[in-house]
Amino acid sequence: MLHYAINIMSSEAKFFAIRCGINQATYLHGISKIIVVMDSIYVAKKIFNPLSHPLQKYVAFILNDLREFFTCHQENTIKFWKCPSKSK
């Protein structure tokens, strides 16, 4: 898989990383729990915000992957953990 990135915003990079991670996890056999660890819960909350915003294309891909993930087994879960980054 090859992706090109030019002039991207920090939130765009976070959405892209979440999208790739969730996509890979949902296609692995035997995965029932996904945990997303990040320093910005604000970005994670935007995934589930139905209002229009500039990064909605990432949200659509993520939600589609999650729909398939939750449809497979009712016990499947996803959690978002906040892990603050250390500033120097």
CA separation, residue 50 to residues 21, 67, 78 (Å): 21, 15, 18
Q: Tell me the domain boundaries of the chain.
A: 10-82
* Confidence (pTM): 0.65
pLDDT in tens, 40-57: 777 677 777 767 667 777
pLDDT > 80? residue 86: no
pLDDT at 30: 87
Query: Which of 48, 45, 53, 66 minimizes the C-alpha distance to 9?
Result: 53
pLDDT > 60? residue 7: no
Q: Side chain identity at 24, as an amino acid letter?
A: Q
